[in-house]
Chains A and B, each alone.
Chain A
């Protein structure tokens, strides 16, 4: 059986895409925000549920910062390093590769990760933070950008994503 040329959209008034952003890697975050902004721009309702390493992408402080509660929380917050220091998932070369990628993206006129994040906010992509991962890392809603709509658990995310497509990145 071959792959169909087009996948039928789920029924409902508005098409919907929900992304579970687990990874804090530069390349995977780029994939998340490329899908999110592209889908929002062609009329989809888009939800992104940030959990574990993905939470790093929506912090107010985008560099190395002692964000979080408690010694270990702050230490993890500092080591994760925010969006600005996101490593690539392969061939990171001690953080040199993301800099090369950013250079290539600018040179080839492809949107950088930061531009995609700003576009997602402008297109009113719904950003949600995972309550459980926040609890582990000692993070609060105020540690995130104000565009984060809410702090959710699994049950609410499942309700939000019902009737659409869901991807785990």
Chain B
């Protein structure tokens, strides 16, 4: 089981979701992905769409300013 990181804090719609989805598709089952994202649409919808697609959102935590971390397990 490996842990990967993805920073989408500088991305805009739709690449926030696109990069998360592509990264998740490359992982093996059980691997973890730490996604760094900003408030608003990414924070609302990246955890939601990940859950809807069968991934497990283990944690959503505040990092600093408007940046949050979402920990997703494949």
Contacts and interface: CB of A to CB of B under 8 A. Distances in A.
Contact of B11 (A35, A43, A109, A123): A109
Q: Chain A interface secondary structure, helix, strand, loop or mixed?
A: helix
Interface in A81-125: 108-111, 115-116, 119, 122-123
B12 A41 contact: no
A32 to B, nearest CB: 12
Interface in B41-67: 45, 49, 52-53
A41 B11 contact: no
A115 B12 CA distance: 13
A40 interface: yes
Contacts, number: 49
Contact of B21 (A34, A108, A123): A123
B49 A111 contact: no
B22 A122 contact: yes
Interface in A38-91: 38, 40-43
A37 B12 contact: no
Interface of B: 10-15, 17-18, 20-22, 45, 49, 52-53
Given A42-B52, A110-B15, A119-B14, 13 more contacts: A34-B13, A37-B15, A40-B18, A40-B21, A41-B22, A42-B17, A42-B53, A43-B49, A109-B11, A110-B12, A115-B15, A122-B22, A123-B18
Which are the 3 A-B pairs with shortest beta-carbon distances? A38-B14, A41-B17, A42-B49
